[in-house]
Structure formats: C-alpha cells, structure tokens
Structure 1
Amino acid sequence: MKRILPTIIITFFSSLYLSAEKSRYDEPYPVANSKKGLQVEMVEDALVLGVKHAALNFNVTQLVDPNSDPDNPRWVKDGREYYFNRTYLNKIDSSIKKLSDRGVLVNLIVLAYQSGNTQINKLIMHPKAARERPNPLSAFNTVTEDGRRWFVAIMEFIAERWSHPEKKNGRVVGYIIGNEVNSHWWWSNMGRVTMKEFTADYLRTMRLVHSAVRRQSSWARVYISLDHHWNIRYEAGDEGQTFAGRPFITYFAELAKDGGDFDWHLAFHPYPENLRNPKFWNDQSATKKSTTPRITFKNLRVLTTHMRKSEMLYQKQQRRIILSEQGFDTPKAPDGEKIQAAAYCYAYKLVESIDGIDSFILHRHVDHRNEGGLLLGLRRWDKGNPKKKIYDCFRFADTPKWEAIFEFALPVVGIKKWP
C-alpha cells in the first residue's frame, strides 16, 4: 500500500499536464547532414562555417509584457490574454529565421534571468530562489497559479510561432529547459533543496513544457540539461546546492514513469574535467565504468550505455541525446591555439563515431571577456574578432577536406588514426 498510494496521487496530478489533444502541426523531425553545431553569436559567420545545429539563449523575462501593450503580440489561453515584447521577439526571430531558412536545426536554451521589473520576476522566477544566488538565474515559477498560467502561455505561444508550417518566423526544433540543472544553485536556482525536492519541481515544469509544445508541434523536442558531473556533485557546492547527474536523471525517469511517461530527452555537457585544460584524453576522473565520477569526451559511451537501459527508454526507444554546450580553453602558451584546435578535432571524430548522439554544439563562437578567464571561442574577442586555429577545423569538420585539416592533431593527441 505504501507504494500504490503515491503512484495514484502522482498519476492523477500529472494527468493535469498530459494532453491527449492532437498537435496543431504534425511533421516529422528534420534530419541534419552532420552533427556539427555551435552556440551562435554571429549568424552570418555561423552560416559561413556551415553549422548544421545551433543553440540560442532565450530569456523568458525579456519576452513577458505584464502591461498588455495592445501593439504587442498576444496569446489567448483559457479566456485570458497574454502579451509579449515585440522588440525581443523580432530580435530572436531574425536569428532563428536566418539559420533555419538555411537548414540549420535551431534549439533554444530556455532561461529565467532576473530582470529589473519586480512584477515580471514574481511571475517568472521561482518564488524560493535564493537572494544570495551566485548568478542572476532562477528556476521557473510553475509553483503559483499565475506563474503556471504565464509559463504555459509562453511555451504555447513560442511553440506555435516557431512550429508553423509557413516558417515565416523561422523554425525551432528543440527546447532545453534551464541550464545544468544538477548544479541548480548556479544555473537554475530554487533555493537550497534536496535532489528529490528539486526533481519533483523540475518534473512539473518539464511536463508543462512538453504538453504546451505538443499541443502545437508533434515533433519538437524537450530536453533536460546536465553538466559533466555523473557520480559526484560539483565540488563547489553542498548537497543542497548540487547533485550528481546519474542519480538525478535516473530518479527523474522513475518519477516521470510513475506519473505517466512522456518523451523528454537529454542535453548533456561533456566538458573536460578541468575546464582550463583542453586535453580531455588525459582526464583521470572520466573512466569507462558506470561509476565514473565524470563523463567527458573521453568516456561518452558511458552516457549512451546508461541511456539505453530499459528504465531510461521511452516506448522501448532510446531518448535522444544532444551535446548542447561544451568547449575547449585556449592555453596561454605558444601552442595554445594548436592544442585547443586538436581537442576539437578529436572530440568531433569521437562524437561522429557514436550512435545515439545527434549533435555536438560547441561553446563558444567568440571568446568572452567575463567567462572566468576561459578562452573557448572560435574567434578572439580582440577588435575584429580574429579567427583562431580551431576556426578552420570547425568549418571543414564535416566536409571532404576534414582529413587534411585535422592531420596536425593526431600527434598532439597522441594517436595514429581517428576513431
């Protein structure tokens, strides 16, 4: 009886979010020609680079118009009107459309940044987000009635806008909900919580997203976001701030099945164990065992093996995996650019050889001055954003020229042939 009662309660509660409606737009999921992707900052440059997958940050608090300006786009849900900032929409539309019109599969990283508007923050940001959080990011407010209503309206509105068959505003194929949520204190803050408390809250949000998206699109995907900590938590936090990815995603899958399973997927970030050392092939905490502390590019097959376990499947099929954010620092040494580029070459060939991973979306496009000293970009942040050695490696990675371009990397990595 102890097991049956919670299951009944969860199933009944979850049925509020699961929609049996037929999707407004029914199409197959699009197919890309390669796994090459980028978190795009310069759209025209990304097209020159030949990206096949793109990830764009999407800040929900910039979208919301609580003042209901009649000149702004609106969405009607359950008899209520919700208005959205036209300026922000036009900006994101422009990037999405330019990319998707050229066949790029665009994913949005859906985030809740603190805004300067307290009314918007109250609607969108999690009511238990800690004031002392290290970044201005919060989990989503799907706790209060107003928060849930707005959140569902937002997701339905953008799913309809970017799934429409006319594609006049562009096309989005996936929604990554939050960022590295197993290290929630930094990237998806809802205060100090246990893993089970966080999972219950995040699962509610994911169900709402999935139902909202499915009402519009039969094919757009919804993703969980995890960092590379697999059987250990991020060492900078305690158990109320961060937890290991493996027990979290396993518990998430169990809880989701108890309440009626749905097709969620995984956006993973296999950074090197030391973000300042791009030589991931030397990672000591990335082993081939299921108990590995971390999953990096060195041991990615541990991830695909785990996701093929019966308890992780959806309708007997493996859930999709994308690598939605990871990159390689440029060491401050004469051969720094060479090492960074070699790391990308090796990682790309590894990912290319592994079934079950759909894309490798590199972070970043351009070095950032305020990323803790990391220099992860294809271009430098100097005037004119000059290209680094990795630029051409990325550009030609999925072309017939790849072998000649990648050849320099073999002795750097210490291998004689590619995977």
Structure 2
Amino acid sequence: MKKKWLTAVVVAGMALTMSLTAFAGSWKKDAIGWWYDNENGTYLQNGWSWVDGNRDGVAECYYFENSGYILTGTTTPDGYQVNGDGAWTENGVVQTKQVAAAVNESVFSKSGSKKGLATRDTLFNNTSVSDLGVKHIIYNFTNFEQNFMDNFRNTKAHGVSVTAIMLNTPRNNPEPQSLPAGITGQEANYYGFNVTSQAGIDATTRLANRFASLYRDSIDNWVIGNEINYPNAWNYTPHSSIENYADQYAHAFRIWYTAIKQNNPSANVYIPFDYVWTEQSPSGGYYKAKDLLRLLNDRLRDLDYGIAWHPYPQGLADPNFEDDSKATNSENSLIINMKNINVLTDYLQKPEYLAPNGKVRHLILSEQGFNATNEDVQADQIAKAYNIAKNNPYIEAFFLAREYDQPGEMHNVGGALQEMHFGIREAYERGGRPRKAYSVYKSLQ
C-alpha cells in the first residue's frame, strides 16, 4: 500500500451486495502498522472496508481492528485470508469490487453548483449572473485584454468563479511571433500558438508568462484555444499530419500549463473540443476528437490537463438533442452531446486516461447553445441538459454559450446560412428581451 489519497467504501461484514458508503481520506502508517484516516477526525475500524487504492474504480477489501490498524498476512477473526498488504484473498487471488472512480476536486465542485454562463461583459453588475444564480462565468479573450483583473476579482468576491479562454489572434497581440509564421490574418477565426521555431517558442512563452502573471489571482481556470479538433477554422496551425498537429498543440499547451501552474498551482487548464467524436467530417482539416485526444494524451499524460467539451445539439439549428441520431450510447458514437455525454465520462475513466493522481480528469462543458427556434423547446432542452450534467459526477460545470444572442451569428443549415439565436435573451443591440429560457435557467439549482 502507498500513502495516497484514496476512496474507502465501507460494507458490513463480507456481504458484498450491501449498500456502500464512500469516504475520502488517506492511508497512514506508524510503528504499529497501516490505518486509514478519514480526514474528518475519524478512522476506519471494527471490520471490513473496501478501499480503492489507485483510484481506478476497483477496490480491495481490508480488515480493520478496533484500534483502526489493518490485519496483514493472516486469518481474520471471521475466518478469511488477507495477504501481506492486508487485502482479502480467496485461494491466493485478491478479491475486488467495482466502485465509482474518484473525481478530482476543483473550484467548481467546491462551489456546490455547476451552473455557468459565458458573459459578454467583465463587469459583474453589467451581467445577469447574480439574478440567474450563476456560480461560474467563462470569458473569451479575443483581443489580449490586459486590464480586467479588478473586474474578475470583483466577480470572485461575489462567489463566482472565472474561467478564461485564451484565443490567439493578430488583434492587439503583444507577441506577434506567437502566431503561425506567414499568416495574413484572414485564414481562420483563431490561430494556434507558434512552436515551430525558437522565436515562436520564445514569444509563446513570454505571452503565457505575461497573462498567467497578470491574472494569477483573478482567473481560476484556463482553456487553451478553441475546438482544436477543427484547426482550419478555430485553431489555425499549419501542419503536415494529425500527429504533427498534436505535437504542436501539445508543445504550446505545455508552455501555457507550466506558466499558469507556476503562478496559480490550484488552477485547472483545459483542452477544448467540439462534439465530433468519430464522425468523418466532409470539411478539410477537421479531426475526430477521439483520435486527437488519444494523441494528445500520449504527449501530455504527465500533466493534470482537463477537457473542455462543446456538446451542442446535432447540426446546431434544432435545439432538441434528445432525438439526435448521431449521438448513440456507444464508444464509437459519431458525436457526443447531452444525449450521450455519459459516453465521454465513461471513456475518461479508462486507466490510460486518468490524471497523474489516479483520478478522473477534470471535465467542463464549456460551450453549448440551444437555438431558440421555439422558446418553449429551447427552455425545455436547456433544463434537461443541465439536469443531465448535474447528475453526472464527472462533469464539473455547465456553461451556456450565450447570455444574449450574437447578431449575425450564421451557421450552414442544409446548405443555406441561417442566423442562430443561442441566447437566453435576445441580442443586446435589439433590446435584450429575456426569453422563457432565462426564467427556467434561473430556477435551476
């Protein structure tokens, strides 16, 4: 056994089918032996307890004496064998039981709420955050703004966490060489960070250090880029293959991760994906998230990276996700959205995807919108989506993509451009009338 943070699940005697109670604590050892500290002033004692020693969702069973120490290498008072580590064995085989894999703690889980919102303004009183009861905001840095520290501190003072999405653009970029070499600024919406030359690496490092230092006490969490599995549109990065692209993004992510953690060790840093899981897109430069995640995990598994997922309804235009045919309850589903988000959270519990501490990686639903083709349907689907997220222990936060509609936000629907209305309010420029979804979201806990 090792001195790690563990999950202990207690049962009465050896009745394996009885209900389980989860505890968070740690193993301790002294001159007498091993015991389990519940970290709340109590310890495990008086019989059998299940303990998930490596946070992989598989627990072993240990016999704790009245004193709290485990028995090792012997026969227990009720006649069972335990090995040298104290684990119950039958015919020399350690007995195990499936339990829920441990969840990483974060500013989200500590808040007691998953309700979040992307805001168009950084001034707390200029948003609907307080009225809605939102506990988390997310903000897109599209112009390398360097003067929002006090605004975000004020937001945090109101008990609301702040997550920043760092988007690389030519606009006001204090480190132009952090952009891909040779761009015109017209290739895509946003760009990847340049790590193909030493000058680019140095510029990206300076940029990351600058912003991580500026916002060290005012931003809780960071998302690096946008929908990186579609680089031609949202993270433009000249590359020769998906492997080469993964190399570049992983290098840039590591630079940002290091700078952020040096300035704020408790911050989480996320990799953003859209909902395309295994579908072969007709668009060029569009990668399956499942493939790219595997490659990035190979390169970044030593870091405590998180995932920021965008589980929009299929095709974006129809807000009803419940009948989305491409979202299936299969590891090879074409897309993953709120209909089948459990596919992603199940996948992230695989041992090879666990964080370095053995826990399931941080996961936020950092962007999703439900087009207001019908206000009743939009409100209904938002409520259903939120409750799915609320009841999934591996989802830390649920962010609606728009407080207000964004005028002129066009998407290709059936070959024709159609304006989207993702906001729970009409566009600010058009009066900002709250839709039914506003009051429904406000009522959700």
TM range (shorter): 0.7 to 0.9
- Of 348, 357, 377, 2:395 maps to 357
Q: Could you say what the CA RMSD is over the residues aligned between the two structures, in angstroms? A: 1.9
What percentage of residue pairs aligned between the two structures are identical? 26
Structure having greater relative contact order (Cα 8 Å, sep ≥ 6): 1
Q: What residue is the counterpart of 2:286 in the other structure?
A: 242
Amino acid at match of 1:124: S
Q: What residue is the counterpart of 2:342 in the other structure?
A: 301
Counterpart check, 1:386 vs 2:442: no
Q: What residue is the counterpart of 1:146 in the other structure?
A: 199
Instruction: Summarize the Cα distance change of 1:346–1:318 in structure 2 as closer, same or farther, 3 Å threshold.
Output: same
CA displacement 1:159-183 (0-9 Å, x = unmatched): 233334xxxxxx2111100000001
Instruction: Summarize the Cα distance change of 1:193–1:365 in structure 2 as closer, same or farther, 3 Å threshold.
Output: farther
Residues of 2 paired with 1:366 and 1:215: CA distance? 35
Counterpart check, 1:201 vs 2:243: no
Instruction: Summarize the Cα distance change of 1:95–1:233 in structure 2 as closer, same or farther, 3 Å threshold.
Output: farther
Counterpart check, 1:89 vs 2:143: no
Residues of 2 paired with 1:130 and 1:230: CA distance? 31
- Of 144, 149, 156, 2:209 maps to 156
Of Structure 1 and Structure 2, the greater helix share is in 1
CA contact (8 A) 1:129 1:139 kept: no
Q: What residue is the counterpart of 1:50 in the other structure?
A: 133
Residues of 2 paired with 1:146 and 1:254: CA distance? 26
Residues of 1 paired with 2:184 and 2:264: CA distance? 35
How far 1:41 moved relative to its partner? 1.7
How far 1:116 moved relative to its partner? 7.3
Q: What residue is the counterpart of 1:124 in the other structure?
A: 178
CA contact (8 A) 1:130 1:189 kept: no
How far 1:230 moved relative to its partner? 0.2
Q: How many residues align?
A: 325
Q: What residue is the counterpart of 1:230 in the other structure?
A: 277
How far 1:192 moved relative to its partner? 5.2
- Of 41, 65, 68, 2:120 maps to 41
CA contact (8 A) 1:185 1:192 kept: no
How far 1:340 moved relative to its partner? 0.5
Q: What residue is the counterpart of 1:18 in the other structure?
A: none
TM-score by length of structure 1 reads 0.74
How far 1:103 moved relative to its partner? 1.4
Unaligned runs of 5+ in 1: 1-27, 64-87, 165-170, 399-419
SS at match of 2:272: strand
Instruction: Summarize the Cα distance change of 1:54–1:179 in structure 2 as closer, same or farther, 3 Å threshold.
Output: same
Alignment of 1:321-336 (within 5 A): 321-331=363-373, 336=374
Q: What residue is the counterpart of 1:115 in the other structure?
A: 171
Instruction: Summarize the Cα distance change of 1:349–1:270 in structure 2 as closer, same or farther, 3 Å threshold.
Output: same
SS at match of 2:200: helix
Alignment of 1:390-405 (within 5 A): 390-398=437-445
Of Structure 1 and Structure 2, the greater strand share is in 2
Residues of 2 paired with 1:324 and 1:142: CA distance? 26
Instruction: Summarize the Cα distance change of 1:253–1:395 in structure 2 as closer, same or farther, 3 Å threshold.
Output: same
SS at match of 2:140: strand
Unaligned runs of 5+ in 2: 1-104, 411-418
TM-score by length of structure 2 reads 0.69
CA displacement 1:213-269 (0-9 Å, x = unmatched): 12122110111000000001443x12xx11100111012112334xxx111110000
Amino acid at match of 1:89: Q
CA contact (8 A) 2:239 2:245 kept: no
Residues of 2 paired with 1:200 and 1:130: CA distance? 23
Greater Rg by CA: 2
Residues of 2 paired with 1:274 and 1:136: CA distance? 20
Q: What residue is the counterpart of 1:416 in the other structure?
A: none
CA contact (8 A) 2:114 2:396 kept: yes
How far 1:129 moved relative to its partner? 5.1
Residues of 2 paired with 1:131 and 1:149: CA distance? 21
Residues of 1 paired with 2:312 and 2:189: CA distance? 23
SS at match of 1:281: coil
